[in-house]
Amino acid sequence: MGQQTQSQALGKPLRIGIVVGEVSGDTLGVALIKAFKAQGIDAIFEGIGGPQMIAEGFQSIYPMERLAVMGLVEVMGRLKELFAIRDDLVARWKANPVDIFVGIDAPDFNLRLSSQLKPLGIKTVQYVSPSVWAWRQGRVHGIRAAVDLVLCLFPFEVDFYLKHEVPAVFVGHPLAQEIPLQHDLALAKQQLGLEPTQTLIGILPGSRSGEVSRLAPLLFDSAFKLLQTRPDLRFLVPAINQARFEQIQHILASYPQALSKAVQVIHAQESKSKVGRDVMAASDLVLLASGTATLECLLFGRPMVVVYKLHWLTYLIASFMVRIPYKSLPNILASREVVPELIQYDATPAKVHQAAMGLLQTSKGQSQQQALMAIHQQLQGQQAINPALAVLGLLNKVC
């Protein structure tokens, strides 16, 4: 069986540190915790987590929102705070070590944290590969030094890491198995108390404050143009917490009453953060920020238009580093343009309106759905390792 951990040797519960920085990480984190529990593992989970993880007994030292920052330039103003959080976690786990640390996504924060925990004898795991295969490939050397194992959502990522002598396994995405290939749109609308025959458009400007500030006005401008073309349309916006709810309502208040009457902001229920998935499931079309949410939208088979805007300097720097032609996960997985991508200077209300109307009024929407289902089938058909077993294997707990 290999060498016992300190907790095991003392007959104590396994102590597992986890850090997530946004809603998608919370979804993976709660699935990981449940996977450990399904193995009958007596464990304490602590670090930084979201409401779904906390509902499963996770001990969150800081609110997940504290890490919700993205972009090369945008993060500069938060460096002092982020360094303080990282240093505090290192000090805590140096004084009272966890048996293993799992950083879920948030690579800029988690890989630096791992690089400080690994010399302390703590096993380190990165769950969700950074897009190192797409840009800044030189980061792979730092990843190799910082972590003992990478848990990959997609099979092609494993090939990249093994080529660079970084231990990696394919664990898939839990939602790929959980979400069925066929999803009842009318039922999803009814579950939110909505009219099944009403044409609904989901608006997902992101879960971070900065993303919402940049993207919500663009998407509301686009919604207003759509409403002028199709007065029958209604719009759903998920708010993952009270802060996002208030921020979205404040932005919406500056728009004409005709739009505010057509928009419903759906607040997350307490201890739940899957409100974004509820909105996707109930929408005939989704306008959303590029990111992990596009994978979830893909799994629901909902037609989508992907948008994103960064600080101009962040975008300029990133433009010189990106090595792949696509930005959204559906297109990356398909190796072709399945969904419209409107990035930076292409992210305008006029272009969003044009792309959305094309999906609503022509066969493009159905064609896109068929392509999304094909990708979903591929993800379901690929053999993934249970992430809890992969982590336990690193601790020599599984033969």
Is 32 within the bounds of a domain?
Answer: yes
Whether 240 and 295 map to the same domain: the answer is: yes
Any idea what the Cα angle at residue 286 is, between residues 283 and 291, rounded to 5°? 130
- Please classify residue 62 by burial: count the beta carbons closer than 10 Å to its beta carbon, then call 0-12 exposed, 13-18 middle and 19+ buried: middle
Whether 120 and 47 map to the same domain: the answer is: yes
Is 311 within the bounds of a domain?
Answer: yes
Ranges in the chain, pLDDT < 50: 1-4, 73, 271, 397-399
Is 1 within the bounds of a domain?
Answer: no
SS3 285: strand
Whether 118 and 247 map to the same domain: the answer is: no
Q: Phi and psi at residue 94, in whole multiples of 5°?
A: -80, -40
Whether 194 and 320 map to the same domain: the answer is: yes
* Neighbouring C-beta atoms of residue 351, cutoff 10 Å: 16
Range of the domain at 273: 178-380
Q: Give the pLDDT confidence score for residue 40 in this predicted structure.
A: 92
Residue 109: which residues within 8 A CB-CB, separation 6 or more?
19, 21, 67, 82, 86, 103
Whether 192 and 251 map to the same domain: the answer is: yes
Q: How many helices (H) and strands (E) does the chain have?
A: 19, 13
Whether 233 and 153 map to the same domain: the answer is: no
Give Rg (Cα) of the chain: 21
- Sheet of 285-289, strands arranged across: 263-267, 234-239, 200-204, 285-289, 304-308, 341-343
- Look up the CATH number of the domain holding residue 142: 3.40.50.2000
Is 163 within the bounds of a domain?
Answer: yes
Q: Give the pLDDT confidence score for residue 60 in this predicted structure.
A: 97
Q: Give the pLDDT confidence score for residue 301 in this predicted structure.
A: 95
| Cβ–Cβ < 8 Å for 57, 16 | no
Whether 54 and 132 map to the same domain: the answer is: yes
User: What's the number of domains the chain is made of?
Assistant: 2
CA distances from 143 to 129, 135, 196, 259 (A): 10, 14, 48, 46
Whether 390 and 347 map to the same domain: the answer is: no
Whether 107 and 80 map to the same domain: the answer is: yes
Whether 254 and 144 map to the same domain: the answer is: no
pLDDT, tens only, 175-191 = 888 888 888 999 999 99
Is 59 within the bounds of a domain?
Answer: yes
Is 95 within the bounds of a domain?
Answer: yes
Q: Alpha-carbon distance 230 to 199, whole Å?
A: 10
Whether 163 and 186 map to the same domain: the answer is: no
Whether 58 and 135 map to the same domain: the answer is: yes
How would DSSP label each residue in 156-203? HHHHHHHHTT--EEE---HHHHHS-SS--HHHHHHHTT--TTS-EEEE
Is 399 within the bounds of a domain?
Answer: no
Is 199 within the bounds of a domain?
Answer: yes
